[in-house]
Amino acid sequence: MCRILISLFFLFCISAREGIRAQPSERKATPLSYIEKYKDDAIREMQMFKVPASITLAQGMLESDNGNSALAVYANNHFGIKCHKDWTGATYTADDDTVNECFRKYPSVYDSYVDHSRFLKDRKRYAALFELKTTDYKGWARTLKTSGYATDPRYAERLIAIIERYKLFAYDIDENISLIVVVAKVNEQQVVTSGGASRTISLNNKVKYIAVKPNDSFLKIAKDLDMGVWQLYKYNDLDKNAKLIPGQLLYIQPKKRKSEEGPHLIKPGESVYDISQRYGVKVKSIYKFNNLPVGAQPKTGQLIQLKKSR
């Protein structure tokens, strides 16, 4: 009898320990710590895809319980995006509307942020979102609800409440003011004035860049920064017929040979050039690190290395 009790005690201890392992960390992130940790990623996505940073942050906070949910902890999925037919990456199984549903699993939280932007951008049912201004967070929240992003009848009101409580609208773009952006969690900024124009220089992978303003041209930017137009083309791997888009990231220094971030999971439609611009890494380095022929494009779901493998 004693042996049976001892055996049951050990089984109880093992089960309890495994149960503890199955739960996310007890040290929960707060809303403010979540915002501080991921606001730069949200701003970078706003630059690339025109999804308001306030909306991205609010959705991430709501869907992931400020990064504390099991889906966020174990799958880096901060937006509750399910697998769907077009998903070829890793998966994570969890109960949601039904038992054992398939959710997308990402190599990093930033990959979740990128996929969230593309998820909205690439689906026709969300097309109405991109007719709204990036400063219209209320319109975005309500259109997300009516487009079917969530089944919660109060989804829009909950997003708006988070945005207004934490003043997330401060991170959104207004085309009539200068854009101040910090990426890669680097706080160094320098405002440059030349010929009456002011620009904010920020860093990505320790490479200086600016955000393109409405009505900008290569010539105007070059004059403002006392550079040659040829340098802008060269540093950004662009030809002379390239067109600028407001909010576009434009490097004003040569990109680096590697990045400490990554690897990056390729999403549908992404090219080597897209990865090069996102991480501030030379195009030729990406081809070299991944043994890709120059000019070849990676396949959806492929992991792209941003530095030499050991």
Q: pLDDT tens per residue, the chain (310 residues)? A: 545 444 444 444 444 443 433 445 456 889 999 998 898 888 888 878 889 999 999 999 999 999 999 999 999 999 999 998 888 889 999 887 788 899 999 989 989 999 999 999 989 999 999 999 988 999 999 999 999 999 899 999 999 999 999 999 888 864 433 333 333 333 445 454 445 567 778 888 889 988 888 788 999 999 888 889 999 999 999 988 888 887 788 999 999 999 988 788 887 778 899 999 989 999 999 999 999 998 888 888 888 999 887 6
Q: How many domains does the chain have?
A: 3
Q: In this structure, are 134 and 246 located in the same domain?
A: no
The whole-number pLDDT of residue 77 equals 96
Q: In this structure, are 167 and 50 located in the same domain?
A: yes
Q: In this structure, are 38 and 146 located in the same domain?
A: yes
Q: Considering the domain boundaries, does residue 143 fall inside one?
A: yes
Q: Considering the domain boundaries, does residue 19 fall inside one?
A: no
CA–CA dist 209, 179 (Å, integer): 12
The whole-number pLDDT of residue 26 equals 56
The overall longest dimension of the chain from CA atoms, in Å, is 90
Q: In this structure, are 300 and 272 located in the same domain?
A: yes
Q: CA 218 → CA 202, 221, 244, 261, 287, distances in Å?
A: 18, 5, 8, 29, 27
Q: In this structure, are 35 and 167 located in the same domain?
A: yes
pTM over 0.85: no
Q: In this structure, are 73 and 151 located in the same domain?
A: yes
Q: In this structure, are 64 and 160 located in the same domain?
A: yes
Q: Last residue of a domain, which of 112, 142, 171?
A: 171
Please give the angle made by the CA atoms of 119, 123 and 127, to the nearest 5 degrees: 110
Domain containing residue 295 = 264-304
CATH classification at residue 148: 1.10.530.10
Q: Considering the domain boundaries, does residue 207 fall inside one?
A: yes
The amino acid that residue 307 corresponds to is: K
Q: Is 29 helix (H, G, I), strand (E, B) or coil?
A: coil
